[in-house]
Amino acid sequence: MSEGTQSQAPPVVELRDMDKSFYGVFANADVNFSLAAGEVHALLGENGAGKSTLCSVIAGLYRPDSGEMLIDGEPTVFKSPKDALAAGVGMVYQHFRLVSNLTVAENLALGNPEVAMRLSQKELEAEAHEIGERYDFPVDPSARIWQLSVGQQQRVEILKLLYRNARILILDEPTAVLTPQEGEALFRTMRVMADEGRSLIFISHKLHEVKQVSDRVTVLREGRVVGEADTADAEPRDLARMMVGKDLELPTRSPNESIGDPALVVKDLVVVGDRGLDAVNGLSITVNAGEVVGIAGVSGNGQRELAQGIVGLMKVTAGSVHLEGADVTKMSVLRKIRLGIAYVPQSRLGMGLAPGLTTEDNLALKQFREPPYSKGPLLSGRAFDSRGEELIEEFDIRGVRPGLPIRLLSGGNLQKALIAREVVQDHCVLIARSPTRGLDVGATASVRDQILAERDRGIAVLLISEDLDELLALSDRLLVIYEGEIVGEMPASEATAERLGLLMSGQSEEQIA
């Protein structure tokens, strides 16, 4: 869209001096924002900068404390997302809101007041098929959601909004679970929707994606708008500087000349998934001391089961896991921790951290049985606080206040706390799943620095991620997992995003050679 077109088109959404706070802390302050018809507008900012709050106000999940929102020039107050949908505004969240045991067509119709009480399954599936074809989003309308890949499920979420004839779509980190090829297909569809006159807000932490697909970009920092520009005129370095308030370079891997002996050896591993089928099927990997081995794959191809099978959270039905030569396959989680396995799960809250406890308490969860936290059967509250304060300062964990539950920290600070707890314990292996997913450029740089520091001090790092940029930046060696098996292996120096993406989609090395 040209600059002249944008300036003449009346905003379909406009926020004026919008404020929104939680627990007395501003999430948005004096925000002015506009979205034009037929525009893809990117929203950038660090974690906690107020992007999700702004979008949740537009989508009807929150109501602003002050200021106003205009839709098509008319002051509007949505009381719920249902009101927003009725006005043509819908949001696709990072965590999908689909009913897994219903079909694609049934999910599209679910909650739609225009669908008749008595449904014709055939007509419903025909409509779903037609919408998918129109937007080049092919999905089997009769397939149940649990049978679909994560990328296909995302398509269903977008098709749900198109089925409801949404004209304003908000996409929150939509490429986080996609292969490069799926991401390119999504961008093409976004441009088709914009060309039809629909308007899109695109939240992303990947600056090259913003440059590729958006018309305009607005940058938030600490809840306030700090910049807006036509994307064609914006340099990634300038956008990053606006986001964090300073110049910032993401760390990249340099070859490690002192790779040691095998620290983690997984041989012929079989792990049964939640559905009773083999999610990991005879998989073998070796990670040496002082090496980062990255595992690339589309989410749902056995990554969770692999990580949890190694650490002892899921049952291994065949194969073995050796840690520095010792067979730890059947050992308990606690025993594996004490022998040197550190684990950063994908789910920060719930599995990684205890959301209702303070940051200081969470930092002690792996070591509270030992001094200085405990003296015999007694715990030392003073030690929890003093040691916690040391780690909070050392790892630059921000937003901590006495007695504040850790769940109220931003995503980046949650991840810093989780990694801090894992790496301060004695360990020889670090398993990290999607450690920078959903993090802003500043928090991403901090986490990547920590991973490379682990490698450089001789720790064997198994990095499991769907973010190819991250894998290419940090890994010494790369593996590709597909349907629970390793289907490709290469030095990082020989890997490309295109080659990895094709392997992730199920093509063999011979097919892409």
pTM of the model: 0.67
Q: What is the pLDDT of residue 204?
A: 82
According to CATH, the superfamily of the domain at 3-244 is P-loop containing nucleotide triphosphate hydrolases (3.40.50.300)
Percentage of the chain surpassing pLDDT 70?
93
The DSSP code for 467 is -
According to CATH, the topology of domain 255-340+426-513 is Rossmann fold (3.40.50)
Considering the chain, tell me which residue range(s) the CATH 3.40.50.300 domain(s) occupy. 3-244, 255-340+426-513
CA angle (282, 288, 290) in 5-degree steps? 145
Q: What is the pLDDT of residue 173?
A: 81
Q: Do 32 and 15 touch, CB atoms closer than 8 A?
A: yes
Owner of token pair 């992730």: 504
Q: What is the pLDDT of residue 475?
A: 94
The residues near 28 (Cβ < 8 Å, ≥ 6 apart) are 18, 19, 20, 50, 53, 54, 57, 64, 223, 224
How far is Cα 190 from Cα 167, in angstroms, rounded to an integer?
12
Please name the helix (run of DSSP H) or strand (run of DSSP E) that holds residue 243, with its range, or none.
helix 236-244
Give the residue among 214, 91, 100 at the shortest CA–CA distance from 150.
100
Q: What is the pLDDT of residue 298?
A: 80
Mean pLDDT per 10-residue interval, the chain, length 513 residues: 47 94 84 95 83 92 93 93 93 84 89 67 86 87 85 88 92 78 87 94 85 93 91 86 71 76 97 86 96 90 94 95 96 94 88 91 88 79 86 88 87 89 94 84 84 94 90 93 93 87 77 62
**CA distances from residue 428 to 195, 267, 348, 460, 500 in whole angstroms, order as listed:** 53, 18, 22, 6, 28
Q: What is the pLDDT of residue 513?
A: 59
Q: What is the pLDDT of residue 9?
A: 57
How far is Cα 192 from Cα 387, in angstroms, rounded to an integer?
54
